[in-house]
Amino acid sequence: MAEDTVGACLKKSARALAEIKRRKPLVHNITNYVVTNDTANILLHIGASPVMAHAAEEVEDMVQIAGALVLNIGTLDRQWVESMLLAGRAATARRVPVVFDPVGAGATRYRTEVSLKILEEVRPQVLRGNAAEVSVLAGMEAEVLGVDAGRTAASTGEIAARAARRFGTAAAVTGPQDAVCDGSRLFLVDNGHPMLGGLTGTGCMVTALTAAFLAVEEDAAAAAVGALVTFGLAAEKAAQKASTPASFKTALFDEVYLLAPAELISGARVEAVLL
Amino acid sequence: MAEDTVGACLKKSARALAEIKRRKPLVHNITNYVVTNDTANILLHIGASPVMAHAAEEVEDMVQIAGALVLNIGTLDRQWVESMLLAGRAATARRVPVVFDPVGAGATRYRTEVSLKILEEVRPQVLRGNAAEVSVLAGMEAEVLGVDAGRTAASTGEIAARAARRFGTAAAVTGPQDAVCDGSRLFLVDNGHPMLGGLTGTGCMVTALTAAFLAVEEDAAAAAVGALVTFGLAAEKAAQKASTPASFKTALFDEVYLLAPAELISGARVEAVLL
Amino acid sequence: MAEDTVGACLKKSARALAEIKRRKPLVHNITNYVVTNDTANILLHIGASPVMAHAAEEVEDMVQIAGALVLNIGTLDRQWVESMLLAGRAATARRVPVVFDPVGAGATRYRTEVSLKILEEVRPQVLRGNAAEVSVLAGMEAEVLGVDAGRTAASTGEIAARAARRFGTAAAVTGPQDAVCDGSRLFLVDNGHPMLGGLTGTGCMVTALTAAFLAVEEDAAAAAVGALVTFGLAAEKAAQKASTPASFKTALFDEVYLLAPAELISGARVEAVLL
């Protein structure tokens, strides 16, 4: 049965990738200024249409015409948080799906508090973070060191399962093994490559890709798995072409562009765990 | 006569490109945070000197030492708009030429209103936008989908001509065929490559290059044509080297750097339409 | 004796580079939005862990867990300056070393005044700027043209020596020849390549690398020399691979990643001047 669960999920993921390329959904990003250019480009490369807009005067208008919304607190401040809440509430009201990336939650109290507020007031479809960030938010033991590093007691699978239950959302938790849980199913994803750790914003890129998938696929877990497998496979292929980080980055972006829906099924290394 | 018009324009454009490399004009940018790095680099590659400054405390001082000013509302908010107006008015008072890029006008009311306000209060030398954005501002039928996509009823030539009349400025409207009109002459530019559509900020880059040309060339149409041909030719050459978007981006930037003034004349695919 | 001084310095610099790779220090950046992505990536490539955070609500918390703090005013505004002062004072109180980059000081009064205020209130361990910027701050004759260009009467060595005395900090002044002075020693660094001038933010990158070195090495001059030699050597190697700016940028980042501590000693072109 676990195999069937994986197969059904990947079928949806692959169909969604084809749909992204066909429909070019608009993805509205309120994200950090470290990754804006990379985020916009990777969304274009996968076939989506990115827009960045953060002014309180317009976020509610912008999110109405979007297929999905990304909220990412990587370089938050008070005004941006206000805009995230405005946009997030408008998205929820209009049934525009939301992906939330709690970058650096646990590193400062402010990031933890803002993350919990967004989770409570916006109720995103997907919470996408690294193991330490999501652990802290889910009330599990963890140490967060900045935005890229941390230590957790639990596995990504345990963290995703706990976060999904606690927040009533799908949780996509990245680490050496990625995990996606929507409360009823838990997927473990082994695609990816260690070289991703040598680039800034790779987590943020997966978050943005998850939003592109969510714009065309209602099954939040299948969307998150689709984004993780797509990005992980592209990284694996890029690592065959480049062994230094800047060359790898160029290859990574090119491979995201090249990845065909069928490869998503043939290349996936995903297993399902029954809860 | 149309041929003479084109020849005279391209001669000015090519001379301006040589002048940029000789004089390295300072281009002051108040632009969006998606493209700041790309904008700064492409300005350096063509030979100009970029500066980004948006604080109300200094924009009037900064624009005084600049050869041209870029106003780009891609990620506007209230404070940035205030600074754009301050800088724009100071530029006009000091006869520093201004290029305005109304990114996403029509996508939200806020962007439309701000754009019309900047056009009215600053009176830029060049309005540089895509077909849907400029259509909306000129009161023509259009649908704006985010910042990269849209549909218009009219051709870029018609849109540029209308906008030039309406705002008393040169209008550079980009699309499959680019159009530049200064009220008396209409130029249609066929340089470029579809791969530009797979990168974020290519319109913004043309806007910045237009400012570099304007810093050394009084004929606004010749400046805009020069930027479009330079960027379009670089894209054509880059597309011969790379067929994937990230590799294409690297090649594009390299080709902008390599493009010699004489190539601008020999490679241009420009025609003039008498109004 | 001058040779001994250089040898002792480079030994510390090389050991520091090894320590960065071993300890992966967290570097907290409050920097400009032109270079955030490049800064974060180059810090990762050298082995450090970057974080960008500018909210008044969290900068004091963030700097507490950091190994060093970067303050860079490239795209300053009032709120960011307030956060820089908050973070800078907290860093000083906690003995977290600070590198300050006065981008564009002298180009506008605002930048000059803010720079002098940060120097006085934060007392950074290293002041890292180009010749014209540091000249202006040190009260020497100079003309600042934007953020990349300028003219000075004095050599970088004279400027660094004057600034070190005036501000009681180590000063790292970049130009055709780089100079580092801590008040008692003056080092002149000839590594580097003219192609660095064709990329935006190369000064900002050196500033960030200096912070990574400072996080693991108490001798501020050795930290600054280490960063300058590392970046300069990487540029020299990159220039052997690429002769166009965008390809050079990719190679530069790759070479920063590849540079081994021993190369820092063997490749350095550094001399010491006794004061």
The 10s digit of each residue's pLDDT in B254-267 is 999 999 999 999 99
Nearest residue to C28 via CA among C63, C58, C75: C63
CB of B150 within 8 A of CB of B204?
A: no
Residue A1, pLDDT above cutoff 60: no
pLDDT in tens, A88-106: 999 999 999 999 999 999 9
**Beta strand pairing call for A178-181 and A170-174:** antiparallel
Q: What is the mean pLDDT of residues C151-176?
A: 95
Q: Residue B1's pLDDT is what? A: 56
Interface residues of C toward B, Cβ cutoff 8 Å, are 32-35, 37-38, 74-78, 104, 107-111, 145-149, 198-201, 244-247, 249-250
Q: Residue C4's pLDDT is what? A: 92
Helices (H), chain C: 2-23, 36-46, 59-64, 78-93, 109-122, 131-137, 156-167, 202-214, 220-241, 245-258, 261-267
CATH of the domain at B235: 3.40.1190.20
Size of interface A-B (CB pairs under 8 A): 95
A200 versus B147: the higher-pLDDT residue is A200
Q: What whole-number percentage of chain A has pLDDT above 90?
A: 93
Q: Residue A210's pLDDT is what? A: 98
Q: Residue A121's pLDDT is what? A: 97
Name B46's Cβ contacts closer than 8 Å, sequence gap at least 6: B17, B20, B21, B209, B212, B230, B256, B257, B259
pLDDT in tens, C127-153: 999 999 999 999 998 877 777 767 888
pLDDT in tens, A162-200: 999 999 999 999 998 999 999 999 999 999 999 999 999
Q: Residue A97's pLDDT is what? A: 98
Q: What is the mean pLDDT of residues C177-196?
A: 97
Question: Which residues in chain A are contacts of C65 at CB distance < 8 A?
Answer: 107, 145-146
Q: What is the mean pLDDT of residues C30-49?
A: 97
Q: What is the mean pLDDT of residues C160-169?
A: 97
Nearest-CA distance A10 → chain B (Å): 26
Q: What is the mean pLDDT of residues C255-269?
A: 98
Q: Which residues of B169-181 are buried (b: 16+ CB within 10 A; e: fewer)?
A: bbbbbbbebbbbb
Tell me how far apart the alpha carbons of residues C172 and A6 are, in angstroms, rounded to a whole number.
Answer: 57
Tell me how far apart the alpha carbons of residues A24 and B204 are, in angstroms, rounded to a whole number.
Answer: 21
Computed over every residue of chain B, the mean pLDDT equals: 96
Nearest-CA distance B22 → chain A (Å): 30
pLDDT in tens, C188-203: 999 999 999 999 999 9
List beta partners, residue B27.
B50, B68
Q: What is the mean pLDDT of residues B156-174?
A: 97
DSSP states of A44-62 as a string? HHHT-EEEE---TTTHHHH
Q: Residue A248's pLDDT is what? A: 98
With CB atoms and an 8 Å threshold, state whether A147 touches C257. Answer: no
Size of interface B-C (CB pairs under 8 A): 94
Nearest residue to A129 via CA among A82, A186, A60, A73: A73
CB of A119 within 8 A of CB of A165?
A: no
Computed over every residue of chain C, the mean pLDDT equals: 96
User: Which of the four pLDDT bands, split at 50, 70 and 90, describes residue A153?
Assistant: confident
Mutation pick from A31, A32, A34 vs chain C, by most beta carbons of C within 10 Å, is A34
Name C42's Cβ contacts closer than 8 Å, sequence gap at least 6: C205, C208, C209, C253, C256
Q: What is the mean pLDDT of residues A113-125?
A: 98
Mutation pick from A54, A77, A133, A253 vs chain C, by most beta carbons of C within 10 Å, is A77
Name C78's Cβ contacts closer than 8 Å, sequence gap at least 6: B55, B57
The one-letter code for the residue type at B252 is L
The one-letter code for the residue type at B24 is K
Q: Match 């297929």 to its residue by tokens.
A: A67
Residue A209 in tokens: 């890709």
Mutation pick from B29, B41, B259 vs chain C, by most beta carbons of C within 10 Å, is B41
Question: Which residues in chain B are contacts of A22 at CB distance < 8 A?
Answer: none
Residue B221's CB is within 10 A of a number of other CB atoms, namely: 28
Q: Residue B221's pLDDT is what? A: 98
Name C86's Cβ contacts closer than 8 Å, sequence gap at least 6: C56, C59, C60
ipTM beyond cut 0.90? yes
List beta partners, residue A260.
none
Q: Match 């033991």 to its residue by tokens.
A: A141
Give the neighbours of chain A: at least 3 Cβ pairs within 8 Å: B, C
Question: Sign of dihedral through CA atoms C257, C259, C264, C267?
Answer: negative
User: Which of the four pLDDT bands, split at 50, 70 and 90, describes residue C1?
Assistant: low
Q: What whole-number percentage of chain B has pLDDT above 90?
A: 93
pLDDT in tens, A33-44: 999 999 999 999
Tell me how far apart the alpha carbons of residues C233 and B193 are, in angstroms, rounded to a whole number.
Answer: 37
Domain carrying residue C155: 2-274
User: Which of the four pLDDT bands, split at 50, 70 and 90, describes residue C239?
Assistant: very high
Say how many domains are in chain A: 1
With CB atoms and an 8 Å threshold, state whether C146 touches B26. Answer: yes
Question: Which residues in chain C are contacts of A250 at CB distance < 8 A?
Answer: 250
Q: What is the mean pLDDT of residues C84-104?
A: 98
